[in-house]
Every structure is written in C-alpha cells, then in structure tokens.
Structure 1
Amino acid sequence: MDVHTYQIGDARITKVTETLLQGLTPSFLYADWSDEVLHEQPQLRSLLDDTGTSVVLSVHTWVVEWADQVFLIDTGIGNGKERPFSKLFHQLETPFLERLAAIGIAPEGVDHVLLTHLHADHVGWNTRLVDGSWLPTFGNARYVMPQGDLDFFATPAGDSRRMVYDDSVAPIIAAGQAVAMATEGGSYLDAFRFHPTPGHCRGHMSISFRSQGETALFTGDVMHTPIQLYRPEWNSAFCHEQVQARQARQWLLDYAADHDAMLFTAHFPDTSAGRVSRGDQGFEWQFA
C-alpha cells in the first residue's frame, strides 16, 4: 500500500495502512443521506468504490517521529482477534508489522502509543498473541488512553465489547504500561494535547500536536469521511451520542480552520490527511 509522509515542524508523520473497509453504503453510514451532496460536491464521488455504491474507509496508524522518539496514534484492528460483532474485523490477518518495519519502525522502538478511544479498530495492535497469551506489541511503550473509555468498560453497557477490553486493553494495564488521560483532557510531553470530543463514544478524544508553529490534529472518529465537512450535521451510524457528536465535529472543524491545522483522520480514504478551510457555503476539504 502507498506510504504517505508529512512534515509538521520538526516531526515526520507517516500513514501506515492496515486495511481498507468496503461494503458500507452511504445510506447506512449516514441516516440523513441524500445524493444531493454528490451533485453539489462531485469530487466526493471519489470516496466511493468502483461500483459507486459503497464508501471506502481506511484503517491505519499514524506514526509520529519527533524528538528522537516514536509515537503511534491508534493501532488498528490487529491480527487474530475474535470480533463476532463485525465480519470486517473478525480474525483479520494483515502484514501490519511488516509495513511498520518497511519505514524503519520495530515494535521495540516505539516509545508511546496515543489512543483516541478504545474501539476495536483503534486498539487492536496494542497486543499480539504470544504462546497463547495477549501481550503488549510495543513492549517499551507507554500507552495513553482516555479515562472516559476505561470508565465505560467498567459499566454493564461495556459488556457487549468486553472482548476488546480483555484482549487489547487489560493486558496493557496488567503490564504496567497504561497511562490514563483525564476526561477533561490535557497535555502530554508538551507538544501533544488530548481534547475531549465525545459523541462517537463518551470518552473519545482528538489529539493535537504542535511543532515550530505548525499544528497537526489527529481526529479519531469525530468524522468518518469528508462528506461530513459539507454536512457537519450528519452523524454516522457509529455515533452513540447524537448532540455531543455534532458539537464535537463543529469544535474540530473550527479548531482546524482557526489554527490552519493539518488533519490526520482515522478513516478517510486516499491519503487520509488534508486541510479544512472556510468557504462561502461552509467548510471545504482538500486532501494533502
């Protein structure tokens, strides 16, 4: 798969793709879907597969190399994970670690793993199966995760996804490598900041990074496709708190436009990175 690398200040940021998800129709992804948006913004047709009937979503990790340290933003789905609730995630097998190696990143060379939230497609490579046990993939890393999502798993509502916690989060805690980020967010190593953006899930956070006057913003699942820049009121099928999701999206778009931030998204196809600007009719998107 193509490698896309960007420079933000003195940091190098590289996209490492795990897999592409296909088969989700626009009308499934967005309950308010109307083809009108494709007529108004014909460039959005490039988000669809070759049949023009389903949206292509990317699952990937952002690798940030900065200050002689390696940071991973989210870790994808992972290999060999039992995910009966999603055929797209269940027992996946990809050469993800080989793709990391291809850009010079070995598991033991990762210093920090920053997690926007604790869903199955964002924490999977936290661990890998070794002699029948799930162990941290990145044995020397600190894993920073939202306290709000940890709290969710402590409630009965988290039972339906308990397997995600058990194989991809609990082993990190047991190994003493977990760092909980407070629900109000905060800074991490000065250059990074966790921003509460609940809605997709209660503990969801977006992560900004600043270096030499330039800003990157790792969006997590505040948006799933660029369609939501042109229809920011549209929540996806995966937004659990409707009002908060719209508020988080508005905050993120305003922040990106106000700070001239490069957005590093979690599921946009193509390069998955780009910039937001304000136009006559609202927000506009340009892939980088």
Structure 2
Amino acid sequence: MTEDNVQTFMIGDVEVARVVEWERPYVPVLTLVPDLPPEAWPDDHGTPAVVALQTWVLRSAGRTVLVDTGVGNGRERPGNPLFHMSQGDLPGRLARAGVRPEEVDVVVNTHLHGDHVGWNTHDVDGSWQPLFPNARYLLPAADDFHFGPENHYGGGVRPDDRLTYEDSVAPVHRAGLATLWDGTHRIDEHLALESAPGHTPGSSVLRVASGGERAVLVGDLLHSPVQIAHPECSSCFCLDPRQAARSRRRVLERAADEGELVIPAHFGGTGVAEVRRVGDTLTLGK
C-alpha cells in the first residue's frame, strides 16, 4: 500500500511502514563515498545521488516501534545548511500512516547523528520535550557517551554535535525515557538490536525475523547501493571508516547468506535492497 509518501509491507507478522519526510538529490556519489573506485560508478560522476530522509514504523508483537526520527523542526544546525532550521511534517506524515505520538511504544535511534534523532523531541513553549511521551527511547550507549557532555559532545569537533545532543537527546534523558544498551538488545521475539560500529562508535542495526522471513535495518551502514559491491568503501560521514567497512561486510554477508532484506536509512526509490553472493563478490539482487 502506498499513500502520501507511506509504503507498507510485511515481514512475516511484522508490518513495516516507510514514512518519507523528503527524497531528493544530495551530493555526487564520489563525494558521498570518496574511496569508491571511479570505474565502479560508470554514470556521470557529477550526478547527485538521490537520498531519502525517512522513518520506519514497525508494528510488532502488539507494539509500535519507530526506527530513526529524522531532522526535526527549528533545529540550529549551522554545519549543515540542508538541515538548519528545517521545517518538515513528520508528525503529520506519521498521523496519515495511523501513528499518533502517544501510541508509540519504542523509539530506536540506530545512532545519534542529527538526521536520526531530530523528531525525538518537539518544541513545547520554548522547551524541547519528548515527542513520544509513552515510548522507551533505545540509545546506543557508545554514541550517548561519544556525543554527550562527558566527551565534550563528540570531542568538540563539530558544533552541531552539541546542539543535536542538547535538543534531541538530553531532553529524553531528563524525562526518564532513555534506555542505553550495548552489544545486543532484544526488543521482542521478532526484533533485536546489534552493534555495528564505525559510522559512529555506537552505530547499530535492527534485525527482524518473523514467519521464516528476515530483514535488517542497517541505518547508515550504507549510503549508496554501490557500497554493496564495494563494502570496503565507507561514506564521508563515517568516523572510523575501517571499522565501518568491517561492520558493513559482516552485516551484508550475513544478509546474503540468510536471505535478509536490507533496509538502509537513506536509500531512495523503494528504500530496500536484496544482497546476493556471486562467487566471492556481493551484488545488488534483482
């Protein structure tokens, strides 16, 4: 079913809805994935890659689970003009998908970059408050430390990290809604989180298994389909490119071997991918 930027499909008994906030050309692929061999992208190297900003809604075991929450509205992000003081309508799009904030049981932030946590909160009379008041927010502990005040907000390298933490993460802690996890974390009989560090220290993937069907929501482990054939190539946003490459290869090889549908955070089009092995090479399935 497709309605107003919402696409819904089933993985066994788990309903998955893709709620797109926006989808547009971003930057050229060789800017996004700078270590990619030029011959791996035979099209015009200057053509911007199409990326999507989206939230995934999973209805599993009687609960509603959101995976990543986009940029949010009215956020100071001077390091990223595309996100600075953005005005989107994710709550409206969620409502049209049948999701009201008070009905959300779990919010998963695959990592704590600003385009994955923005709608964790909203402005209430000049104060940032959790948008999903009855949810447990599952935050990777390694990211919470790295981007939090004890580590001087990501080591003070990017001002946006401090702004993001203070408006989109700290209010969740103050409200007593945050759950920090590390390694693995089981949400229910169908859903389990697993660390996949490199893009950030706490980057994670969410595995879905139900009725003999499988999927893995990989967050920012992938930014472009060309990384499936070249998992050694990390994006320009990865804090530890080598570790990200190791995580990417491990997750993609398992997806190919176990028939997991791969669901990245920012793919345009259908938003999903199949991964297959051809000899020792991974390839995008058809």
Give the structure-1-normalised TM-score.
0.91
Q: CA offsets, 1:10-62, max 9 Å, x none?
A: 111010011235341222112224442234xxxxx6xx8xx961111111000
Report the CA distance between 1:247 and its aligned residue.
0.4
Q: Which runs of 5+ in 2 are unaligned?
A: none
Q: State how far apart, in whole Å, the 2-side matches of 1:264 and 1:197 are.
A: 14
2:167 counterpart SS class: helix
Q: State how far apart, in whole Å, the 1-side matches of 2:255 and 2:91 are.
A: 31
Q: CA offsets, 1:208-263, max 9 Å, x none?
A: 12112221211011110111012111111011112211100111101111221111
Other-structure match for 2:39: 36
Q: CA offsets, 1:128-178, max 9 Å, x none?
A: 111101011111111111000011122135233111110000100111111
Q: Do structure 1's residue 106 and structure 2's residue 100 form an aligned pair?
A: yes
Other-structure match for 2:261: 262
Report the CA distance between 1:95 and its aligned residue.
1.8
Q: State how far apart, in whole Å, the 2-side matches of 1:103 and 1:259 are.
A: 30
Q: State how far apart, in whole Å, the 2-side matches of 1:195 and 1:124 are.
A: 22
- Give the root-mean-square deviation of aligned CA atoms: 1.8
Other-structure match for 2:211: 212
Q: Does the 8 Å contact 2:232/2:246 carry over to 1?
A: no
Q: What is the identity, as a one-letter code, of the residue corresponding to 1:168?
A: S
Q: CA offsets, 1:259-281, max 9 Å, x none?
A: 21111110111111121111246
Report the CA distance between 1:203 and its aligned residue.
1.0
Question: Moved runs in structure 1, 4+ residues, more than 6 A?
Answer: none
1:89 counterpart SS class: coil
Q: What is the identity, as a one-letter code, of the residue corresponding to 2:243?
A: Q
Other-structure match for 2:166: 166
Q: Does the 8 Å contact 1:79/1:125 carry over to 2?
A: yes
Paired positions, count:
277
Q: State how far apart, in whole Å, the 1-side matches of 2:210 and 2:260 are.
A: 11
Q: What is the identity, as a one-letter code, of the residue corresponding to 1:130?
A: V
Other-structure match for 1:156: 152
1:17 counterpart SS class: strand
Using the aligned pairs only, state the percent identity: 38
- State which drifts further: 24-33 or 143-152: 24-33
Q: Structure 1 residue aligned with 2:73, among 59, 79, 82?
A: 79
1:273 counterpart SS class: coil
User: What aligned pairs does 1:60-209 form with structure 2 within 5 A after superposition?
Assistant: 60-152=54-146, 153=148, 154-156=150-152, 158=154, 159=156, 160=158, 161-182=161-182, 184-209=183-208
